[in-house]
Copies of this chain bind each other. A is one copy, B any other.
Amino acid sequence: MENETKLMSVRDAIIMAMSEEMRRDESVFLMGEDVGIFGGDFGTSVGMLEEFGKERVRDTPISENAISGCAIGAAMTGMRPIVDVTFMDFIVYMMDNIVNQAAKTRYMYGGKGQIPVVFRCAAGSGVGSAAQHSQSLEAWFTHIPGIKVVAPGTPADVKGILKAAIRDNNPVIFLEYKAQFNMKGEVPLDPDFVLPLGKADIKREGTDVSVITYGRMLERVMQAAEEVHESDGVNVEVVDLRTLAPLDKDAVLESVKKTGRVLLVNDAHKTGGFIGEVAAMIAESDAFDYLDGRILRLAADDIPTPYNHILEKAMVPSVERIKKYILKLVNKR
């Protein structure tokens, strides 16, 4: 079993990660709207009610504030709740509990207590649900000390990072992507397959350009990297941040120093998006001296997500646009 893998979707990797942790540790439980018989708005808890029962797969009222507060209180007193936020946009109603309470409590109490809680957020656009159901709001949380933020981009990473998040003793914002629940990949079956938080993963080694990304955009970046390699012989290094907070600065800077060319990609709005922070971090570091040119960014346009699927698609970086930017960086076209 140790090295066995299975082809499965992100959705199934999530269910597997949560279920394994719930089998392993009595104090882990899942709560959220329609996580029970409905199996989650995105099917990410199908079958779990049947295995774990109502006490550990807790359907809640439509009360995001109480859900998040309750989870935090439970976490402070010895439980390890996982909250299904469903659409990340609804996290607006959880901001006090996450930002003013969970993130700050341990610090304000002088290092006492801990809040092991995971908020699973379905982020991003791509399913035609318009402006109030399509946001990737990770930048709000990376700005706040005391919260970890993770955004894995493959089914295997989803499993390994989610398990790490559940085992971590701090509040973790976990991004999953509406448009990628069906994305498939090989996933290790080992119930002790846990990836480290705070470490970036070089998904592709390269020498010409560093493309730094995370979450939903990883898939497109990887495809673009392969394609420019084939078409133009460009060797792209893909740095998958995987954890946004705390950020693995060393991995980023090392790659930048190696290639001297940087493209940053995320699916959140460009202005104020997390890749802007990474760009700024590079620009103020010693890696600046290794830069061959501007630090480019590709992100979602600064518009509310339109309902129309053509406009919706156009606002997010495509493989084509990523390729164009890579080639621009190496002056190939």
Give A contacts to B, CB under 8 Å: 89, 92-93, 95-96, 99-100, 103-104, 107-108, 130-132, 137, 139-140, 142-146, 245, 247, 268-269, 271-277, 279-286, 288-289, 293-297, 302-304, 306-307
Q: Which residues of B contact A144 (CB under 8 A)?
A: 269, 272
Copies of the protein in its oligomer: 2
Cβ–Cβ contact B145 & A304, under 8 A: yes
Given known contacts A139-B139, A143-B140, is B295 in contact with A283 (CB within 8 Å)?
yes
Min Cβ gap A138→B in Å is 9
Q: Are B142 and A140 in contact, with the CB atoms below 8 A?
A: no
Indicate the member of A143, A145, A274, A307 with the most B CB atoms within 10 Å: A143
Assuming the contacts A96-B93, A99-B92, A304-B146, asked whether A285 and B280 have C-beta atoms less than 8 A apart, the reply is: no
**Contact indicator A294/B304 (Cβ below 8 Å):** no
**Complex contact A143–B93 (CB within 8 A):** no
Residues of B with C-beta under 8 A to A104: 131-132, 304
Complex Cα gap A303–B304 (Å): 31
Q: How far is the CB of A246 from chain B (nearest CB, A)?
A: 9
B284 touches A279 (CB 8 A): yes
- Complex Cα spacing A271 to B276, Å: 10
Contact of A284 among B89, B142, B269, B296 (CB under 8 A): B296
A92-B95 in contact (CB<8A)? yes
CB of A298, distance to nearest CB on chain B (Å): 10
Q: Contacts A284-B295, A284-B296 given; indicate if A273 touches B304 (C-beta within 8 A).
A: no
